[in-house]
Amino acid sequence: MPQLIPVTTARLGDHLPLLELLPKDNPLSWVRGGDGLVGWGVFATTTVSGPHRFRDAQNWWHKHLEKFAVTDSVHAIGTGPIMFSSFSFSQDEDSVLVIPEVVVGMRGGKSWITWIGDKSQPDLPEKPEALRPHQYSWRDGTLSAPQWQQQVDTAIQAIRNSRVDKVVLARDLTASADGEIDPRQILLKLAAEYPSTWCFTVAGLVGATPELLLRLHRGMVTSRVLAGTISKTGDDEKDLALAASLARSSKDLEEHGYAVRSVADSLAPFCPSTNVPDSPFVLHLSNVMHLATDVTGAVVDTVNHTDAFVILEKLHPSAAVCGTPTANASELITELEGMSRGRYAGPVGWIDSRGDCELGIALRCGQITGDEIRLFAGCGIVTDSIPEKEYAESQVKFVAMKSALQ
């Protein structure tokens, strides 16, 4: 019988600056308001694709878990062995799974460390020196502004012809830097400017998402649905009026309703009852406001163990990033976007050895490749959409990442 590999979780001090611990090579993060997980070192990694990618990911993770002998003195969400994951939007592209050698976590100011192997507890890295900012040159992505607006108009006609009820169209921008791009610099700025978002990086994909696709902890499921967006002015009185107009907007409420219904329907097979509020609330971020709804439920499974992978297979893609009906919207996206989304708009975050997780939707993000970064933004198109306004909304959604690069 092969010898088991030790995995140890131990307590650390209070209030660690998680993002400042990350090394340059292969950093991993899922941090919101200072709490979350960061990781480094690669114990194992793989890619999965195809129609069974979530089950393939589950099998790969479980095979590694069988090799571990876990000692966990903390016993909290996010302790023990952790797998960071970044799934592609489309089943036809690669999703990335990484088991880090070292994970440091913090929740409520209390921190811990998990490491793999029989070595003694690793020392925490020293705070890195100030990172040199880059100069960037920008260029259009797959489609120019007029071309993308034309595709939005085509999507609106498809909706009016009853091919779909809603479709989400994304666009991209590309920036070239004067040197290799370091994701840590982007993460630190995103965390400072958008503390209520989840700041993530996995395999070069870096961003700050406001949308929690799935939190599963001890049988309780939470999914935060965002759909419907309006820009902020920075004037509190004007922004309150804008928030009220967003909450009354028939176009945005229609878009939001499709997204909420898709999540609730996906969770229904696992949760005999779900709590779906009658109306959304307005989520205020630094530069935009969104219509938001928290869908919650309790998993009841008397036969099979329902874990994050099983739920993800039903939950992704939701109407918030694809549209409805899902199959028709997905076909229309392929026809009109003309680009690879990669892991943009896919589930990103972490899964633990118990099958619990925190996974967001990879929004407000960019994919780093050496000295280039490709940014993404998408808009939900419904029958009352106006191409020029959708383009303006997409420009606003680029602001978070463009600001983090400056």
Domain boundaries along the sequence of the chain: 5-119+135-405
Give strand pairing partners of 288. Answer: 231
What is the average pLDDT score of the chain? 93
Q: Cβ neighbours of residue 29 under 8 Å, at least 6 residues apart? A: 18, 19, 22, 36, 37, 38, 39, 187, 199, 200, 201
CA–CA dist 396, 333 (Å, integer) = 21
In the chain, what's the furthest Cα-to-Cα distance? 68
Average pLDDT over residues 140-158: 96
Per the model's pLDDT, the better-predicted residue between 152 and 75 turns out to be 152
What are the φ/ψ torsions at residue 316 (nearest 5 degrees)? -100, 135
CB 193 within 8 Å of CB 181: no
Pairing of β 68-72 and β 35-48: unpaired
Q: Which of 225-234, 353-362, 368-377 has the lowest mean pLDDT?
A: 225-234
Residue-wise pLDDT for 246-287, tens only, equals 999 998 899 899 889 999 999 999 998 889 999 999 998 888
Q: Would you tell me how many other CB atoms lie within 10 Å of the CB of residue 51?
A: 10
Residue-wise pLDDT for 324-348, tens only, equals 999 999 999 999 999 999 999 999 9
CB 168 within 8 Å of CB 321: yes
Query: If you classify domain 5-119+135-405 with CATH, what class do you get?
Result: alpha beta
